[in-house]
Structure 1
């Protein structure tokens, strides 16, 4: 598609593209396994620590809500992996230090994008709390009680369905805005609004492939959560590097 209003051109891809991105990301992961897996380990420890703190604080409901909402802030947490992908693309070897402190990411436009994602994350948390509050008058203080309520009662099943629909809609809209914007902002010449518009155009022009990519990301994140975030050690860097591959194919001339 031709560029419009000074925005970069957006490429059209097939339904095979998400699987090619995964394959490319997997290949890149093993070109720099040390720093990438340590990066994944850090994210896994943070995720597990947060969930464990919620469980021991009798706030099990928030584990589910915040796990689902993780997709809102993940693009910013993966900036180091985008930088690694960029360096691997140039034939360089990324280091952990360069991934933890991405010099080109220290700029106002990325701060704006990060603030936007945090606000969406907090909004989702508040909505999840409202859905839970409207579904029951009881406070479930243990994981077992909450799971029994959510799965074994009509009100709990309604809560899960409602939360899934609302959360899914918010997550997909957020995904449309940032899936390309986050890696694109590593380029110092790109502003946050141009990056977001380009991201939305990319999803609109490649609706089915990009929707498939969103489903793949969601499934892999849920698999990670189901393993106590142990799988995150590999899955998080894999997805981050694959996302860089996706950006480079979808916005090839940028």
Structure 2
């Protein structure tokens, strides 16, 4: 009896590499303060080119913010009003998706109307933008939850019967100052994280057929390449949006569109186009 020593080698040998190919990440450029200045100018030009359509997205964002605050007051969640207002700019990148598409078409010289922009936004549900929205809303939820945690730990005996009473405790008591200090530090960390993973990820998902993980990694690389300049851009966005909320959120009608358009142009400067 003989053994078969010449068996089928194709059945006994394993493939050389079972690791799936990894998507290649685009190159990133170093961003300078001149890029920020040029992007802001381009953002203002885009707003001036389509003021009604741009203002619509700002108005929608402002109205949503007002309804959100009013609902918190109506539900008696007085303690949530300030953290909600402070954390509201965190969702601005997702709210500006239509503005990115407008700037993309303006830069290419394409004509467009309401239907083209709204259709592109609706189609994002079938792409990776939905995952980025999940990331954004999750961090916003973490922001609100950690504020509630610090309230329970630091201001555990305080009673918030009305908004004026809440402001009195927060701004004019030692416990309130401690709460503000800790909340500000925690909020700064969460804001920096969200900004780092989304600053170019949102416009990149609209511009390219890529996955949200690659978009976030590219965004992180852009911030890592020019940390001081990009964090300056984050500060400009945060301060501008917060100041725009003071007159009943109405300033957002103008500032959100300009910053949204400018973010698109900064993305194009930070991430070279595919065609070079």
TM-score category (smaller protein): over 0.9
Map 1:85-164; keep pairs closer than 5 Å.
85-103=103-121, 105-136=124-155, 137-164=157-184
Matched, 1:172 2:216: no
Superposed displacement of residue 233, structure 1 = 0.5
Superposed displacement of residue 213, structure 1 = 0.2
Checking the alignment, whether the CA contact within 8 Å between 1:54 and 1:62 is kept in structure 2 is yes
Instruction: Identify the residue that residue 39 of structure 1 maps to in structure 2.
Output: 57
Q: Distance in 2 between matches of 1:157 and 1:216?
A: 25
Superposed displacement of residue 222, structure 1 = 0.8
Q: Distance in 2 between matches of 1:46 and 1:99?
A: 20
Name which one, 1 or 2, has greater alpha-carbon Rg. 2
Q: Distance in 1 between matches of 2:154 and 2:114?
A: 45
Alignment equivalent of 1:70, drawn from 68, 80, 88:
88
- Give TM-score, length-normalised by structure 1: 0.93
Instruction: Identify the residue that residue 68 of structure 2 maps to in structure 1.
Output: 50
Distance 1:97 1:62, change over 3 A: farther
Structure 2's unaligned 5+ residue stretches are: 1-21
What's the secondary structure of 1:71's corresponding residue?
Answer: helix
Superposed displacement of residue 93, structure 1 = 4.2
> What do residues 92-127 of structure 1 show as CA deviations (whole Å, max 9, x unaligned)?
344334333425523342111111211111111110
Superposed displacement of residue 175, structure 1 = 0.6
Instruction: Identify the residue that residue 203 of structure 2 maps to in structure 1.
Output: 183
- Give TM-score, length-normalised by structure 2: 0.86
Structure 1's unaligned 5+ residue stretches are: none
Superposed displacement of residue 238, structure 1 = 1.0
Checking the alignment, whether the CA contact within 8 Å between 1:17 and 1:209 is kept in structure 2 is no
Checking the alignment, whether the CA contact within 8 Å between 2:89 and 2:242 is kept in structure 1 is no
Q: Distance in 2 between matches of 1:157 and 1:22?
A: 35
Instruction: Identify the residue that residue 209 of structure 1 maps to in structure 2.
Output: 229
